[in-house]
Structure 1
């Protein structure tokens, strides 16, 4: 009996685990939902603004090539990188992947926005009057560990582990204010 149980664990259990865990849509093509920063190999959901990181624009084509523990492997800009679920671990890997990798190219919608909104998003910055979707395109999604609801009146983001900014929305879902210390405001608020 023990031999059969061990055989089950070795031969059958891996397939059962794979079918019950969230799986990224491996091999699928899509686009980045939003502006994300990378060091060339790792893209974190916290999206810190750090020296040595470059911005990958919203709408950049990606191909999902696999998954690992709390990460989705993607091909983007001609190289392989990992999109890390560092601070949104209450989201399953499929939900996390579908938040950041979308089927429809966001740059098509971006082209229809007013000039000041397009410029703000291109610079990964925020401006009053933006919708939630436009905020997410510009600076990425807020981490779910600190923002359980994307519909909250105020969402919290960070540019570093010590620099927080808060985005406030009116009842219609438009940005009314971005509150932060003066240095952080310079990094995240659009000034034409």
Structure 2
């Protein structure tokens, strides 16, 4: 490489490194949880497993994004520190991951206009036939992008626990069925 080209290459590399920074102080904001999110009190993973000892932070819970760590978004909920772990959606940078889970418009406004059966399913982190993709997201959270790279797909894969997979099937934009074992279906599906 010619000596005179080195500063240009260095600037280009540094510029790329700066543009690859996942999130910044400018990405701190107040908003609402897009979806039901299961937490142990301080940590929630994007797998959103329904494990013993976890409680649901309901869709529409006011939160404040306070910062970022390695594959995690730090939030404050009711004055308490929490982190949302980007464990299975690492193809998304911190800002994109956070914007999925923390939205600026309160989803409860939309939920108020839904039929009672849909409202109840969302409140219980369950799904039912005829729900829209948006309603499924509110109820179950985002499916892991590592397993679901396309949110327009006919099937979304979720796990209730590490051993309990289920697949939400869509006909267009509406849920048509769920495929899983009978025990898991009983926990997540409302007839």
Fold shared, TM-score > 0.5 on shorter chain? yes
Name 1:119's counterpart in structure 2. Answer: 120
- Aligned partners of 2:78 and 2:166: how far apart in 1? 29
Name 1:72's counterpart in structure 2. Answer: 73
- Aligned partners of 1:52 and 1:73: how far apart in 2? 21
- Aligned partners of 1:115 and 1:139: how far apart in 2? 17
**4+ long deviations beyond 6 Å:** none
- Aligned partners of 2:15 and 2:154: how far apart in 1? 43
Q: For the structure 1 residues 15 and 82, does the alpha-carbon distance in structure 2 shift closer, same or farther, using more than 3 Å as the test?
A: farther
Name 1:9's counterpart in structure 2. Answer: none
Q: Any unmatched runs of 5+ in structure 2?
A: 1-13
- Aligned partners of 2:135 and 2:187: how far apart in 1? 17
- Aligned partners of 2:73 and 2:145: how far apart in 1? 17
Contact 2:27 2:95 in 1 (8 A): no
| 1:183 aligned onto 2:183 | yes
- Aligned partners of 2:160 and 2:36: how far apart in 1? 13
RMSD (CA atoms):
1.8
Name 2:23's counterpart in structure 1. Answer: 23
CA deviation after TM superposition for structure 1 residue 15, in Å: 10
Name 2:9's counterpart in structure 1. Answer: none
Q: TM-score, normalised by structure 1?
A: 0.88
Aligned length: 178
CA deviation after TM superposition for structure 1 residue 190, in Å: 2.0
Q: Deviations over 1:15-34 (max 9, x none)?
A: 98565312065431000000
| 1:147 aligned onto 2:148 | yes
CA deviation after TM superposition for structure 1 residue 183, in Å: 1.2
Contact 2:37 2:141 in 1 (8 A): yes
Partner of 1:97, secondary structure, is helix
| 1:130 aligned onto 2:119 | no
Q: Any unmatched runs of 5+ in structure 1?
A: 1-13
Name 1:35's counterpart in structure 2. Answer: 36
- Aligned partners of 1:113 and 1:99: how far apart in 2? 21
